[in-house]
Structure 1
Amino acid sequence: MTKLSVNINKIATIRNARGGNNPDVVQVALDAEKFGAQGITVHPRPDERHIRYDDVMKLKDVVTTEFNIEGYPDKRFMEIIRLARPAQATLVPDPPHVLTSNTGWDTIAHQEELKDIIAELHEYGTRTSIFINPDKKYFEPAKLTGTDRVELYTEPYASNFHKNKQEAVKPYVEVAKMASSLGLGLNAGHDLDLDNLRFLKENIPFLDEVSIGHALICDALYYGLENTIQLYRRQLEMDEG
């Protein structure tokens, strides 16, 4: 079964716009789990423009599904993982100034660096995932880092989906098969929504997890959070069982 992990960064963005604690990030995480989320994802950036350090420390004590912390593996991030001990750490190669994650790791150039980082994360009992572009050349080097999973960067898929969905998904199917043959678990994320999610799942049925935030929160403005989570779950479960 492909699990749905709900990224709650945008909830924190709304809260931070006015100060105070409305909406309550921790309560939203608990409600999202109650509504069917099978994981909670956060990306605590150094400038704390959405999720803050203290949010992570509160969430680690209450999330009962899979807690996934994304980020660039600098000293601050590694300390957060050491203290929070999440189920999964997703390594993203984005420096502090970027608005959102916009590419995957060059696992050839950064293989030794990633190997050391992943070894440390494993010492904390945390599963690791590497954010990666749909390019075959990066997958064998990714395997050599010791990572448990890779997360497919799906923005190119989403951008081209309405032009030619078969062509958009083709490189993802190819690298997904390669990842599977290498024994790598497979996640996906970035710009996935109610339009393109089902088709990705149909073509890569062995996806372990998708992480969705921006589109899901936008949909929740119209459909409500509980209904929206169920809508996304249905996209992933239509052909299961």
Structure 2
Amino acid sequence: MNQPSNASHPTTALSVNVNKVALLRNTRHLGIPSVARAAELCLQAGAQGITVHPRPDERHIRGHDVFELAALMKGWPDREYNIEGNPSQNLMEFIRRVRPHQATFVPDSEDQFTSDHGWSFPQDAERLGPLIAECKALGVRVSLFMDPVPGQMAAAKAAGADRVELYTEPYAAAWDTPQQGEQLARYRDAAQAALDAGLGVNAGHDLNRDNLGAFVRDVPGVLEVSIGHALVADALELGYAATVHAYLECIRGGVRAKA
């Protein structure tokens, strides 16, 4: 796929993870709610991208969803499709067939409840290097899911990554506690180390309408946030359009406060 222009995007792009829509759909055999329709409504509301994490057990996103969303995204050439997962499991076959804008490598085990840690270097460098190179040969940008450890960023760059996605659950867990400032400082330092190494910075996991603006405001260079659970939960009450508008306003508020 060609890389879309970011000229009309806010400084930090919002990519909506639609896994939880698929999780609800999979509780019955009726095909509702529609994952593709949810993605389309989010794009219509201004989301700059769609994210999926197709796990091997298909507990939420299934193989056909990946391909249906790829077809949908062709009608939105200025938006991005991000497929995340463990490249030693089922991710690479989707990357080879779909060639999304971005592949996010996540070190999940097959039975892991949710993503809860990032890659480690130098331990993971040897196995990740050839897979990163393959993605880049296909024209796919590679982001590595990483803990906010400044000393790891140069190694991620050396392995060939284009970006890192900072795992933000510790920040979210510390929100509105005495540890909030300390956690923000960790992410600020890690993001700066990534930028200094020549990496782009993404972020995701448990970001929501309460904590998103401060993160964008205080963490430098965040190009994209991937948000699923909280956004879909909010959409159950507000609807997709109003929810996407609310998250975009959180991002804009953080950008305005940073200026």
TM-score range, shorter chain: over 0.9
Task: Report how many residues are paired.
Answer: 241
Measured in 1, the distance between the counterparts of 2:89 and 2:210 equals 38
The answer to whether structure 1 residue 161 and structure 2 residue 175 are counterparts is yes
The match for 1:87 is 101
Alignment pair present for 1:142 and 2:156: yes
Write out per-residue CA displacement over residues 148-189 of structure 1, whole angstroms, 9 at most, x where no aligned residue: 000000000000111132112010000111111111000000
CA distance in 2, matches of 1:236, 1:200: 9
User: Which segments of 5 or more consecutive residues in structure 1 lack a partner in the other structure?
Assistant: none
> Alpha carbon RMSD of aligned pairs, Å?
1.1
Q: What TM-score results when the alignment is normalised by the length of structure 2? A: 0.91
Say if 2:186 is the partner of 1:176: no
1:130 aligned counterpart, secondary structure: strand
Aligned to 2:213: 198
Residues 12-32 of structure 1 show CA distances to partners (whole Å, capped at 9, x for unaligned) of 001001122101111111111
Percent same amino acid at aligned positions? 46
The letter of the residue matching 1:43 is H
Give the AA of the match of 1:183: G
Name the SS of the counterpart of 2:26 in structure 1: helix
Query: What does residue 29 of structure 1 align with?
Result: 39
Residue 119 of structure 1 and its aligned partner are, at CA, apart by 0.1
1:56 maps to 66
Deviation at 1:75, TM superposition (A): 5.2
Hey, what does 1:68 align to over in structure 2? 82
Counterpart of 2:3? none
How far apart are 1:216 and its partner, in Å? 0.5
Counterpart of 1:20 in 2: which secondary structure?
Answer: coil
Whole-angstrom CA distance in 1 between matches of 2:90 and 2:238: 37
- For 1:180 and 1:76, locate their aligned partners in 2 and report how far apart those are by CA, in whole Å: 30
Return the alpha-carbon distance in structure 2 between the equivalents of residues 2 and 138 of structure 1.
Answer: 23
Q: Secondary structure of 1:137's partner? A: helix
Determine if the alignment matches structure 1 residue 133 to structure 2 residue 147: yes
Give the whole-Å Cα distance in 1 for the aligned partners of 2:239 and 2:24: 16
**Conserved in 1, the CA contact under 8 Å of 2:17 and 2:50?**
yes
Are 1:19 and 2:29 counterparts? yes
- Correspondence for 2:126: 112
Q: CA 1:35–1:201 in structure 2 vs 1: closer, same or farther (change >3 Å)?
A: same
Which residue of 202, 206, 209 corresponds with 2:224?
209
Matched, 1:152 2:162: no
Q: Which runs of 4+ in 1 moved over 6 A?
A: none
Whole-angstrom distance in 1 between the partners of 2:118 and 2:241: 31
Q: Report the TM-score when normalising by structure 1.
A: 0.97
